[in-house]
Amino acid sequence: MADQVPNSAPDTAGAAPPLIESAGSAAGVRFAPHGQPVITGINRIGLWSLYIKEIRRFLKVQTQTIWAPAVTTLLFLVIFTVALGRGGREVLGVPFGDFVAPGLIVMGMMQNGFANSSFSLLSGKIQGTIIDLLMPPLSEGELMTGIVAAAVTRALAVGCTVGLAMALYPGVTLHAAQPLAIVWFGLMGSTMLALMGLLASIWAEKFDHNAAVTNFVIAPLSLLSGTFYVIDNLSPLFQAISRFNPFFYVISGFRYGFLGESDIGEGVQAIVWAGAGLAVFNLLLAVLCYRLLKSGWKIKS
């Protein structure tokens, strides 16, 4: 006769959490214990749903969110090439139109990335629908990733639209001298402004606050970042100030991708350091966004 093995508690290490039957349910519906998460790891379906929701939101008004910025940026190009590009003026060894076009493209990308992410949480707080973002089973990191990814997508759409318009503009030639620099600095700039927009939407309590950040922070930093000039033409004091502006490195690095020349510094090493510095800066912004979302500051209170 086979030996009898005494009863012992089952080994539950690494097993899924036990389910609890609902007392009031005839069908015996079972739920996870209170406080025990059902979704572990990354909620891919929820993250994708949030991303698509944000994409559809700005695509419903694409005339305002994509085509209007392209027209506005093209007007900048027309005005500055007519005003400053006469007489065959050259900057960094290329015609003025070729010099200013890349900066205008990435400036439009950054401004629209900020506009998209800064509207997401703020509109929910003002309209009372922010619960639609807070109640789904999304972690703070997933919420941040979905909003920022959608803002970067809008920035890329605007950049492609503006680039196409400028490529068709007479007197402007866009040539990708360093495609990797175009991709890297375009993504770094779009991500940086998307994170800044998310920070602004967390802090803001009304649309006036968001407009104040746009008008008094984002617009000056964009226009005074070397979009229409090289900082070598400035006094030493203003050159030093410009080098503390992260927008300067985005625009100059993005321009380097088209022209192969930049006013960041001598050699490719300066471009590499600028790209690495932007990545570190974006990481710090992402950590700050995550901590604020985690704390619920001005969101859950």
Query: What is residue 133's predicted lDDT score, i.e. its pLDDT?
Result: 86
Whether residue 83 is predicted with pLDDT greater than 80 in this model: the reply is no
Angstrom CA distances, 67 to 101, 111, 164, stand at: 17, 14, 12
Whether residue 30 is predicted with pLDDT greater than 80 in this model: the reply is no
Q: Which residues lie below 8 Å from residue 33, measured CB to CB, with a gap of 6+?
A: 17, 18, 20
Buried b (16+ CB within 10 A) or exposed e, 241-269: ebeebbbbbbbbbbbbbbbbbbbbeeeee
Q: In this predicted model, what pLDDT tens digit does every residue of 238-274 receive, in sequence order?
A: 899 999 999 999 999 999 999 998 889 888 999 999 9
Whether residue 45 is predicted with pLDDT greater than 60 in this model: the reply is yes
18 — pLDDT class (breaks 50, 70, 90): low
Whether residue 9 is predicted with pLDDT greater than 60 in this model: the reply is no
Share of the chain above pLDDT 90, in %: 53
State mean pLDDT over 74-93: 79
Whether residue 10 is predicted with pLDDT greater than 60 in this model: the reply is no
State mean pLDDT over 79-101: 81
Query: What is residue 86's predicted lDDT score, i.e. its pLDDT?
Result: 63
pTM value surpassing 0.75: yes
Share of the chain above pLDDT 70, in %: 86
Handedness of CA 284, 288, 293, 294 (dihedral sign): positive
CB atoms within 10 A of CB 123: 15
Residue with tokens 């920022």: 148
Lowest mean pLDDT among 15-29, 41-55, 204-218: 15-29
Q: In this predicted model, what pLDDT tens digit does every residue of 127-160 receive, in sequence order?
A: 888 888 888 889 999 999 999 999 999 999 999 9
- Residue 30's φ and ψ, nearest 5 degrees, are -110, 140
State mean pLDDT over 207-215: 92
State mean pLDDT over 69-80: 87
Quote the mean pLDDT of the chain.
86
- For residue 245 the two structure tokens come to 């502006």
Whether residue 85 is predicted with pLDDT greater than 90 in this model: the reply is no
Residue with tokens 């008008």: 215
Query: What is residue 91's predicted lDDT score, i.e. its pLDDT?
Result: 85
Query: What is residue 87's predicted lDDT score, i.e. its pLDDT?
Result: 62
Q: Which residues lie below 8 Å from residue 239, measured CB to CB, with a gap of 6+?
A: 231, 232
Cα atoms in the 13 Å half-sphere on the side-chain side of 69: 28
Rounded distance between C-alpha atoms, residue 147 and residue 64, angstroms: 19
Query: What is residue 160's predicted lDDT score, i.e. its pLDDT?
Result: 94
Whether residue 93 is predicted with pLDDT greater than 90 in this model: the reply is no
28 — pLDDT class (breaks 50, 70, 90): low
Query: What is residue 170's predicted lDDT score, i.e. its pLDDT?
Result: 83
State mean pLDDT over 184-202: 96
